[in-house]
């Protein structure tokens, strides 16, 4: 045993703090994270449900927890996982470790490569232009969430996956079950998940009747039918459902979040309007800056004793990694609480890290780039159409964002 391990082993485990530390306030990062990074980077926390856990708040420690093979997700299935919801979260591939996780991820990863996603950019731009045209035609004030932020990611994922866009109102409502903590009753969450799985099951049956359809869902059905060791029927339905829901839900939320932050940083917005070539860097900085999650979820379980941040994490103990805190770590990001579009080194964890790094990161990144660029260049006078205090924020969900965003231009 190393000297440092002996030291950490002899420490008494601190009492657990209630977590999240406070009720989310718009897109403000709770200052407690900064205090913990400085004084107690590995702290004990107790979420509303499940067992106690360690919380990693420093960048390097969060990367370790998310990327080190000595931590895994699979034990969560058998444990009382620390969580924000009364029921265990449906998380599909997120409850798997290699090689099972690798088997499923490999089936979908090729649809989300940088080259494939770039091929979708012109079509995404067409969608964005039509949506902005329609919003301008309606005239201000108009809800950016309703007219642009929601339909754009939904239409893109529908066309990629092979889901009828006409059904968007149905599956968008059902998708809330995946990000709800207390916004929906437990019974409703299960009802919505059943509806979503049933809906995808019907589309799977349709692909089998018409095997020539060239889309991601068709490719998954062929993978299942040609080699059943690669994908079970349940895995097929849950994987496609997860792609449909996760493939639009977070981007729907981030588009208005990004515009909200830019409007509150007028100097940076002015630079972006003057030089749209800054959009890719701006999107990366916004991914770092915006705390999308209400709190940390999807604990990793130590497979053996591991020292992290000066603390000995025992085999079997769950650890949560705070992406929001890691992305504000001043040892990695200079002046971390400032939105800086000129930030040259930006190794943010906005899409996670390790084997569970967001499979759709390239798609989300492209959609955000197209939408931000379109809004900034086509609507140079874009602004909030209501006082700040009238904006309504999501409650009882894993993500934080605006329910609506009335704008003028």
Per-residue pLDDT 10s for the chain (409 aa) are: 444 443 444 457 889 999 999 999 999 999 999 999 999 999 999 999 999 999 999 999 999 999 999 999 999 999 999 999 888 765 678 889 999 899 888 888 888 888 889 999 999 999 999 999 999 999 999 999 999 999 999 999 999 999 999 999 999 999 988 888 888 898 898 899 999 999 999 999 999 998 888 888 998 998 888 887 788 899 899 889 988 988 788 999 999 999 999 999 999 999 999 999 999 999 999 999 999 999 998 999 999 999 999 999 999 999 999 999 999 999 999 999 999 999 988 999 999 999 999 989 999 999 999 999 999 999 999 999 999 999 999 998 889 999 999 999 9
Report phi then psi at 18, rounded to 5.
Answer: -60, 140
CA–CA gap between residue 261 and residue 123 (Å, rounded): 27
At 72, is the secondary structure helix, strand, or coil? strand
Quote the tokens at residue 294: 């209400």
Residue showing tokens 């968008």: 172
Cβ 237 vs Cβ 201: under 8 Å: yes
Residue showing tokens 């690669």: 230
**What DSSP string runs through 240-260?**
HHHHHHHHHHHHHHHHHHHHH
CA–CA gap between residue 319 and residue 43 (Å, rounded): 10
Residue 378: alpha-carbon gap to chain centroid? 27
Cβ-in-10-Å burial (0-12, 13-18, 19+) of 56 comes to buried
| pLDDT, position 8 | 41
Residue 286: alpha-carbon gap to chain centroid? 13
CA–CA gap between residue 158 and residue 147 (Å, rounded): 17
CA–CA gap between residue 94 and residue 164 (Å, rounded): 26
- Scanning 139-181, the segments in alpha helix (DSSP H) are 144, 151-161, 168-179
CA–CA gap between residue 134 and residue 127 (Å, rounded): 11
Q: What is the pTM of this model?
A: 0.92
| pLDDT, position 1 | 41
| pLDDT, position 107 | 83
Angle, CA of 131, 135 and 138, to the nearest 5° = 140
CA–CA gap between residue 317 and residue 299 (Å, rounded): 9
Quote the tokens at residue 166: 């006409």
Cβ 256 vs Cβ 405: under 8 Å: yes
Among 106, 103, 101, 220, residue whose Cα is nearest residue 163: 220
> What are the residue ranges spanned by the domains of the chain?
3-408
Paired with 8 in beta bridges are none
CA–CA gap between residue 120 and residue 117 (Å, rounded): 5
CA–CA gap between residue 282 and residue 279 (Å, rounded): 5
141 dihedral zone (left: phi>0; alpha: psi -120 to 50; beta): beta
Residue 383: which H helix or E strand, with range?
strand 383-384
CATH class for the domain made up of 3-408: mainly alpha
Q: Which residues of 360-372 are buried (b: 16+ CB within 10 A; e: fewer)?
A: bbbbbbbbbbbbb
| pLDDT, position 140 | 95
């Amino acid at each position: 045993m190393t000297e440092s391990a002996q030291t950490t082993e002899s420490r008494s485990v601190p009492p657990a703090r209630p977590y999240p530390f406070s009720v989310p306030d718009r897109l403000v990062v709770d200052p407690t994270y900064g205090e913990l990074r400085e004084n107690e980077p590995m702290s004990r926390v107790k979420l509303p449900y499940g067992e106690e856990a360690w919380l990693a708040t420093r960048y390097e420690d969060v990367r370790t927890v998310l990327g080190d093979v000595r931590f895994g997700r699979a034990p969560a299935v058998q444990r009382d996982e620390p969580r924000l919801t009364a029921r265990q979260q449906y998380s599909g591939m997120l409850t798997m470790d290699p090689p099972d996780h690798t088997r499923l991820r490999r089936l979908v990863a090729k649809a989300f490569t940088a080259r494939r996603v770039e091929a979708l950019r012109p079509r995404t731009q067409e969608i964005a232009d039509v949506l902005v045209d329609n919003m301008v035609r309606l005239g201000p004030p108009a809800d950016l969430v309703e007219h642009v932020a929601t339909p754009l990611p939904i239409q893109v994922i529908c066309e990629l996956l092979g889901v009828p866009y006409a059904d968007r109102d149905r599956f968008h409502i059902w998708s809330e079950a995946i990000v709800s903590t207390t916004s929906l009753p437990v019974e409703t969450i299960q009802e919505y998940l059943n509806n979503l799985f049933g809906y995808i099951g019907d589309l799977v049956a349709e692909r089998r009747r018409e095997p020539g359809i060239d889309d991601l869902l068709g490719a998954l059905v062929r993978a299942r039918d040609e080699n059943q060791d690669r994908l079970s029927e349940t895995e097929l339905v849950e994987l496609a459902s997860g792609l449909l829901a996760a493939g639009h839900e977070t981007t729907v939320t981030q588009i208005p979040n990004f515009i909200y932050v830019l409007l509150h940083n007028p100097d940076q917005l002015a630079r972006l309007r003057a030089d749209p070539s800054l959009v890719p860097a701006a999107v990366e900085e916004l991914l770092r800056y915006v705390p999308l999650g209400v709190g940390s979820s999807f604990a990793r379980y130590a497979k053996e004793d591991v020292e992290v941040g000066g603390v000995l994490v025992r085999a079997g103990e769950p650890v949560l990694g705070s992406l929001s805190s890691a992305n504000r770590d001043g040892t990695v990001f200079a002046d971390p609480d400032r939105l800086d579009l000129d930030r040259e080194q930006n190794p943010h964890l906005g899409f996670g890290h390790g084997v569970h790094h967001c499979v759709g990161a390239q798609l989300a990144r492209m959609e955000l780039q197209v939408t931000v660029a379109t809004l900034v260049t086509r609507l140079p006078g874009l602004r909030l159409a209501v006082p700040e205090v009238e904006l309504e924020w999501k409650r009882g969900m894993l993500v934080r964002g605006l329910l609506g965003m009335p704008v003028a231009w």
